[in-house]
Amino acid sequence: MAISYKEAPDDDADLAEINTTPLVDVMLVLLIIFLITIPVINTSVAVRLPREANQLQQTLPGTVVISVDAAGASYWFDARLSDAQSLRDKLQQTAAQTPQPEVHIRGDARADFEAVARVLSAAQQAGIARIGFVTEAPENGH
């Protein structure tokens, strides 16, 4: 009985290929890090936005002026409105006119936003097509 030995396979021939899996893993991690940090970098850029001067408009005789004082009370021209229903009634009468007049809202700078928003909402619900806000020009003239 004879013993036969086979030659051992050459182990060096199997290592001829480079294992790229760790390289791909590292690249994917770097890609994810860059995707997360790029939006943060872009939003931190200081930008000076353009300014637009208000254009003066002539008030027509049919224009309705609604004022809101610092306490939140509403005025139809110079007459104080007792409640929100009277404002809605007047706005519905205005919306029914042909041609429909513009509504200008004069809100006091110290007034709560909710009071001005109620007037704006009532005008929108009544169907007023043209609503504007009356402002003052800045003190420095810009």
CATH of the domain at 123: 3.30.420.270
- Is residue 136 predicted with pLDDT exceeding 80? no
Q: What is the spatial distance between Cα 89 and Cα 69, in angstroms, rounded to a whole number?
A: 20
For residues 93-116, give the mean pLDDT.
88
Which two structure tokens, joined as six digits, stand for 54?
């208000």
Q: What is the spatial distance between Cα 101 and Cα 128, in angstroms, rounded to a whole number?
A: 8
Number of domains forming the structure of the chain = 1
- Is residue 20 predicted with pLDDT exceeding 50? yes
For residues 98-127, give the mean pLDDT.
89
1 domain residue, yes or no? no
Q: What is the spatial distance between Cα 119 and Cα 87, in angstroms, rounded to a whole number?
A: 8
3 domain residue, yes or no? no
Neighbour count for residue 119 (Cβ, 10 Å): 23
Dihedral-angle region of residue 90 (phi above 0 means left; psi in -120 to 50 means alpha; beta otherwise): alpha
For strands 79-80 and 103-107, give the pairing: unpaired
User: What is the percentage of the chain residues whose pLDDT exceeds 90?
Assistant: 30
74 domain residue, yes or no? yes
Q: What is the spatial distance between Cα 76 and Cα 65, in angstroms, rounded to a whole number?
A: 6
> What mean pLDDT value characterizes the chain?
78
Identify the band that residue 113 occupies on the pLDDT scale cut at 50, 70 and 90: confident
138 domain residue, yes or no? no
- Is residue 141 predicted with pLDDT exceeding 80? no
Q: What is the spatial distance between Cα 23 and Cα 25, in angstroms, rounded to a whole number?
A: 5
Question: What letter represents residue 41's amino acid?
Answer: I
Q: Provide the residue range defining the domain that includes 114.
A: 64-133
Q: What is the spatial distance between Cα 105 and Cα 121, in angstroms, rounded to a whole number?
A: 12
